Amino acid sequence: MKKISLFLFLAVFSMANQCKKSSDLEAIYDKMWLRSSEEEKNDGVEVYRNESYKFPVSRGPRQGYRFAKTGEFTMLIAPADAPMELKGSWKSEGKNKIGVRLEKSDFVQTNQFNYEIVEAKSDILKIKKL
């Protein structure tokens, strides 16, 4: 009986933990998310903060994304010393996955990306390229 109780507890705990980790797409809409590479580990997960975050000084402009609720997408890049916006679209590709398609540009090698949303809150966005 104790083994079954322990198993049930662990199963419920695991499900609750998954719910906590799942992302809420509403939290990412219509904000400029700037990359916070200082917070990243070597696990392939990119960390982004809302543009109002107090970032430390960086050597150049930060990469960023904006996901409009309407499906419009903006990528902020800095191929030189000045930031540049690339336009495109995004859509949900299943639970915690999104697909991005950019308009053709000479500044990016590919115009299609897929991401897993690892965490999405009002103040932090963590994504991993698939």
Pick the more confident residue, 61 or 128. Answer: 128
| Residue 85 located in a structural domain | yes
Domain of residue 53: give its range.
24-129
pLDDT band at 46 (very low <50, low <70, confident <90, very high): very high
Residues 6+ away with beta carbon under 8 Å from 122? 27, 50
Nearest CA to 47 out of 37, 57, 55, 56 is that of 37
Domain count, the chain: 1
In Å, what is the CA distance from 16 to each residue of 22, 59, 116? 10, 40, 19
| Residue 9 located in a structural domain | no
| Residue 33 located in a structural domain | yes
pLDDT exceeds cutoff 50 at 44: yes
pLDDT band at 23 (very low <50, low <70, confident <90, very high): low
pLDDT digits (tens, 9 = 90+) for 58-100: 877 899 999 999 999 999 998 777 789 999 999 999 889 999 9
Residue 43: per-residue pLDDT: 96
Check which CATH number belongs to the domain holding 81 and give it: 2.40.128
Three-class SS of residue 52? coil
| Residue 45 located in a structural domain | yes
pLDDT band at 52 (very low <50, low <70, confident <90, very high): very high
| Residue 12 located in a structural domain | no
Residue 112: per-residue pLDDT: 95
| Helix H or strand E encompassing 50 | strand 45-50
| Residue 2 located in a structural domain | no
